[in-house]
């Protein structure tokens, strides 16, 4: 069986790694992959965003499954294009991917489905947005409507920051067409968590919870990044919240999409703020989270492939398809010097094999490439050093032991991944 994984980051390495270990022993291809995916897959020199070239390859090679990692090809309609050729694809149609591609659309779905989320208004006119802001005051959150590579959200403590954000998005069009409209929404307080759910358009199977670490420095200081680490499970998602998240978030959102003629298949990622009023949705993604996936997939005991195939085929997904280990998992991202600002590429990386041989550890590559047979840096987030442990403390210790063995010029990483899990344990919370 041939499987095509679209993408070349840490999430895709984790997906390719998990699928390569499946009992059906499939042959994995990655487009474009990275220096890590070559150990479990064949890399194809095709960009994840080049839908026509991906389709050409798939037409010629007929993969039984294509798993799409990033949002860009999904928003561009890769699932529709593949389905049109009878090629099974894990990931929603272009219409379904709008749940991530347009924050105004996502908000409209949530409002129609009564999903708990921050109150918001959508604007296309900056004068109207500014006068609304001045009436409501700060704190407030301003969000560009479209895809803005994680940079389109402004959490504003002061009114002046929010006014500047409106100008940046609507007047200066710093995000291009993604900033043709924006949302002004209430600031929510609480602790964030990520919960993903698989769906074949009928059944919903929730994955283990996780928590991302978006800021570059320890103690959540410094600028936002694509994610500096993740761990699973996230104790903030207590057992009593599971049925609530299913019935107040996933079920109504998927039903509202279906009511609009959109049968959503693939994975739906809910970014939640868990505060005094219970879980509220901050955002939806139409794909697996990165780096949450690196911390969630190693916790799956046995095969993932049957569940992904059921989603792609639009039927047959059942709750018992995924079995979970009790172990905790931690992924520590090692980034290139300067990231999330300007950073160098092409620096040699050493110690990868030693890191991989630490008990419970797996090094997922993100921004890496092969140069003359050697692994070198090729992106801002270079590696996701991941480890399972019998509890969070052991997983953290193993992950950092492995991190300590990897070297490249300018490498930096957070030293406090999973700190909120420990804070909760220390307070006697539900871990
Ligand atoms: P988003 O891309 O919508 O998840 O936003 C990025 C980040 O901005 C989130 O992970 C939160 O940390 C923060 N954020 C977004 N919306 C809100 C909100 N309404 N209140 C507080 N923080 C928010
Ligand atoms: N970790 C956040 C995301 O994947 O968007």
In DSSP terms, 212 is beta-bridged to: 230
């749940």: which residue's tokens? Answer: 99
Nearest CA to ligand 2 atom 2: 289
- Residue 342 neighbours by CB under 8 Å, 6+ apart: none
In DSSP terms, 186 is beta-bridged to: 140
Pocket flag, ligand 2, residue 192 (CB < 6 Å): no
Average pLDDT, the chain: 95
* Contact between 11 and 69 (Cβ < 8 Å): yes
Pocket flag, ligand 2, residue 100 (CB < 6 Å): no
In DSSP terms, 192 is beta-bridged to: 273
Pocket flag, ligand 1, residue 222 (CB < 6 Å): no
Q: Note if the bond before 308 is cis, omega within 30 degrees.
A: no
Question: Is the pLDDT reported for residue 81 higher than 70?
Answer: yes
Name the DSSP class of 170. Answer: I
What is the model's pLDDT at position 151?
Answer: 81
Pocket flag, ligand 2, residue 212 (CB < 6 Å): yes
Pocket flag, ligand 2, residue 290 (CB < 6 Å): yes
Q: What share of the chain is helix, strand, coil (3-state, %, to 5)?
A: 35, 30, 35
Q: What is the best residue among 282, 285, 289 to mutate for testing ligand 1's pocket, by most ligand atoms within 8 Å of CB?
A: 282
Tens digit of each residue's pLDDT (9 = 90 or more) over 221-274: 998 898 999 999 999 999 999 999 999 999 999 999 999 999 999 999 999 999
Exposed/middle/buried for 374, CB within 10 Å: 0-12, 13-18, 19+? exposed
* Contact between 283 and 103 (Cβ < 8 Å): yes
Distance 184 CA to ligand 1 centre (A): 12
Pocket flag, ligand 1, residue 212 (CB < 6 Å): no
Q: Note if the bond before 249 is cis, omega within 30 degrees.
A: no
DSSP 3-state of 339 = coil
DSSP 3-state of 64 = coil
Pocket flag, ligand 1, residue 187 (CB < 6 Å): yes
* Contact between 170 and 123 (Cβ < 8 Å): yes
Distance 83 CA to ligand 1 centre (A): 33
Average pLDDT over residues 95-106: 96
Distance from chain centroid for Cα 340: 17
CATH topology of domain 2-93: Rossmann fold (3.40.50)
Residue 173's pLDDT band (cuts 50, 70, 90): confident
What is the model's pLDDT at position 428?
Answer: 47
Tens digit of each residue's pLDDT (9 = 90 or more) over 108-139: 999 999 999 999 999 999 999 999 999 999 99
In DSSP terms, 245 is beta-bridged to: none
CATH topology of domain 125-180: Dna Ligase; domain 1 (3.30.1490)
Long-range (24+ apart) CB contacts under 8 A made by 319-323 are: 319/203, 319/205, 321/205, 322/198, 322/205, 322/207
DSSP 3-state of 397 = helix
Q: What is the best residue among 283, 286, 290 to mutate for testing ligand 1's pocket, by most ligand atoms within 8 Å of CB?
A: 283
**Residue, of 148 and 62, whose pLDDT is higher:** 62
Nearest CA to ligand 2 atom 3: 289
What is the model's pLDDT at position 78?
Answer: 98
How far is 120 from 95, CA to CA, in rounded Å? 22
Helix (H) or strand (E) holding 222, with range, is: strand 221-224
* Contact between 225 and 244 (Cβ < 8 Å): no
How far is 55 from 46, CA to CA, in rounded Å? 10
User: Under CATH, to which class is 191-426 assigned?
Assistant: alpha beta
Domain 125-180 and domain 191-426, same fold? Reply is no
Helix (H) or strand (E) holding 306, with range, is: helix 305-313
Q: What are the residue ranges spanned by the domains of the chain? A: 2-93, 125-180, 191-426
Distance 282 CA to ligand 1 centre (A): 6
């Amino acid at each position: 069986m041939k499987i095509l994984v679209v993408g070349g980051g840490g999430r895709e390495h984790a997906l390719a790694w998990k699928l390569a270990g499946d009992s059906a022993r499939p042959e994995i291809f990655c487009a474009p992959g990275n220096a890590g995916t070559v150990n479990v897959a064949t890399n194809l020199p095709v960009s994840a965003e080049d839908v026509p070239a991906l389709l050409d390859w798939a037409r010629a090679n007929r993969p039984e499954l294509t798993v799409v990692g990033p949002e860009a090809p999904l928003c561009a309609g890769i699932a529709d294009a593949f389905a049109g050729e009878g090629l099974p694809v894990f990931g929603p149609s272009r219409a379904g991917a709008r749940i991530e591609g347009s924050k105004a659309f996502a908000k409209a779905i949530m409002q129609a489905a009564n999903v708990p989320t921050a109150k918001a208004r959508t604007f296309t006119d900056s004068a109207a947005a500014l006068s609304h802001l001045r009436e409501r005051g700060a704190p407030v959150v301003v969000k560009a409507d479209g895809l803005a590579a994680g940079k389109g959200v402004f959490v504003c403590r002061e009114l002046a920051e929010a006014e500047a954000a409106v100008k940046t998005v609507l007047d200066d069009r710093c995000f291009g067409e993604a900033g043709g409209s924006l949302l002004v929404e209430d600031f929510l307080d609480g602790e964030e968590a990520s919960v993903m759910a698989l769906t074949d358009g009928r059944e919903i199977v929730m994955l283990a919870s996780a928590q991302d670490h978006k800021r570059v420095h320890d103690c959540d200081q410094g600028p936002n990044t694509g994610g500096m680490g993740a761990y699973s499970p996230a104790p903030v998602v207590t057992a009593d919240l599971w049925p609530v998240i299913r019935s107040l978030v996933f079920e109504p959102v998927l039903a509202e999409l279906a009511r609009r003629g959109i049968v959503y298949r693939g994975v739906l990622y809910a970014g939640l703020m868990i505060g005094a009023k219970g879980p509220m949705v901050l955002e939806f993604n139409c794909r697996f989270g990165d780096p949450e996936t690196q911390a969630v997939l190693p916790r799956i005991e046995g095969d993932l492939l049957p569940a992904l195939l059921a989603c792609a085929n639009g039927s047959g997904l059942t709750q018992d398809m995924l079995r979970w280990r009790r172990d905790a998992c931690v992924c520590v991202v090692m980034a290139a010097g300067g990231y999330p600002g300007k950073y160098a590429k092409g620096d040699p990386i050493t110690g990868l094999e030693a890191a991989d041989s630490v008990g419970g550890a797996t090094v997922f590559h993100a921004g890496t490439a092969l140069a003359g047979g050697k692994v070198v840096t090729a992106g801002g987030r270079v590696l996701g050093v991941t480890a399972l442990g019998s509890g969070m403390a052991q997983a953290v210790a193993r992950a950092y032991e492995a991190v300590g063995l990897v070297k490249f010029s300018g490498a930096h990483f957070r030293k406090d991944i999973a700190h909120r899990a420990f804070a909760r344990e220390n307070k006697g919370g539900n871990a």
